[in-house]
Amino acid sequence: MNVIMLGPPGVGKGTQAMELSKICGIPQISTGDILRANVKQGTPLGLQAKAIMERGELLPDAVVIGIIAARLEEPDCESGFILDGFPRTVAQADALEEMLTRQGKRIDHVINVQAGDEVLTRRISGRRTCRSCGRMYHVEYDPPSSPGICDTCGGELYQRDDDREGTVQRRLEEYRAKTQPLIQYYSGRGLLREVDGEAPRETVLKSMRELLGV
Ligand code: AP5
């Protein structure tokens, strides 16, 4: 099963993609995570991505298309994948369609998760992520047992550089200008499935499982 998670920053795409990945036994492919790993390692891609991400803007299409083209060739994608944060522009969606057609594959579902700006801003500002295992928390909705420490692995929790207030507004603008048109794009192809992202985590997951039949 090949799935795209679509939705604005902070709506819960990563949280739910991680759960669905475990349930379905297929990889979660997050362009944001791949870029952050490159920033951490100081690779040439990471050096290019750092400033753009901190401004809350999107990387050039060619760069992320290249990342995804290589990732989808890996053997763990054979039985399916969950794309989290890609595509984000019509050019990326067209490129994805082309690469999947070449591989004799197609997208089965596009889950569009939605929430209002106030909810998104609150979720982003309270998000904390484990440096070691990547587990996500929220200081208010899903706090760790001990502040700043991951319950799963004991790793340090940190706040993302692009989760500052000014950057969040820019990310929301980028979403509206460049990513929102994909709702129409996939709806026109009969692939769009809507989920209310403002509901509690468990409710959102249940809705997604029902939609995907897993
Ligand atoms: P990326 O990492 O993809 O960030 P994003 O799309 O802005 O999404 P987020 O990770 O902020 O949010 P999310 O929807 O995954 O929410 P989460 O589950 O964390 O991209 C970062 C940057 O990389 C981009 O700005 C761009 O520069 C670059 N980039 C990435 N992909 C690109 C591409 N394709 N093209 C070009 N550039 C690209 O949840 C948020 C918080 O809410 C957490 O604390 C969580 O615990 C909590 N939460 C989740 N669900 C619920 C719930 N139901 N109730 C209460 N709390 C909840």
C-beta 185 within 6 A of ligand 1: no
Q: Which residues contact 78 (CB under 8 A, 6 or more apart)?
A: none
Closest C-alpha residue for ligand 1 atom 30: 32
Supply the pLDDT for residue 155. 97
Is 130 part of any domain? no
Q: Per-residue pLDDT tens for 109-145? A: 999 999 999 999 999 999 999 999 889 999 999 999 9
Burial of 5 (0-12, 13-18, 19+ CB in 10 A): buried
* Ligand 1 center–CA 10 separation, angstroms: 5
What's the number of CA atoms in the CB half-sphere (13 Å) around residue 212? 28
Extract the tokens encoding 35: 């870029």
C-beta 17 within 6 A of ligand 1: no
Is 188 part of any domain? yes
Is 203 part of any domain? yes
Is 131 part of any domain? no
Extract the tokens encoding 106: 């197609």
Q: Which residues contact 203 (CB under 8 A, 6 or more apart)?
A: none
Burial of 204 (0-12, 13-18, 19+ CB in 10 A): buried
pLDDT band at residue 90, thresholds of 50, 70 and 90? very high
Closest C-alpha residue for ligand 1 atom 39: 12
CA dihedral 88, 89, 92, 93 (to 10 degrees): 90
C-beta 171 within 6 A of ligand 1: yes
* Ligand 1 center–CA 13 separation, angstroms: 6
Please report the atom of ligand 1 found closest to the CA of residue 31. Answer: 31
Is 201 part of any domain? yes
Q: Per-residue pLDDT tens for 200-209? A: 999 999 999 9
The three-class DSSP label of residue 56 is coil
pTM metric for this prediction? 0.96
Is 157 part of any domain? no
Is 139 part of any domain? no
Supply the pLDDT for residue 59. 98
Do the strands 28-30 and 2-6 form a parallel or antiparallel pair, or are they unpaired?
unpaired
d(CA 156, CA 114): 30
Is 54 part of any domain? yes
* Ligand 1 center–CA 44 separation, angstroms: 23
* Alpha helices (H) along the chain: 13-24, 31-41, 44-55, 61-72, 90-102, 117-126, 165-174, 181-187, 201-212
Find the helix packing angle between 44-55 and 61-72, rounded to 10°: 120
Q: How many folded domains does the chain comprise?
A: 1
Q: Which domain holds residue 25?
A: 2-117+166-212
* Ligand 1 center–CA 202 separation, angstroms: 18
Question: Which residues are the active-site residues?
Answer: 13, 88, 127, 160, 171
For residue 33, the domain's CATH number is 3.40.50.300
Shortest CA distance to 48 belongs to which of 35, 29, 67? Answer: 35
Kindly report the three-state secondary structure assignment for every residue of 98-145.
HHHHHCCCCCCEEEEEECCHHHHHHHHHHEEEECCCCCEEECCCECCC
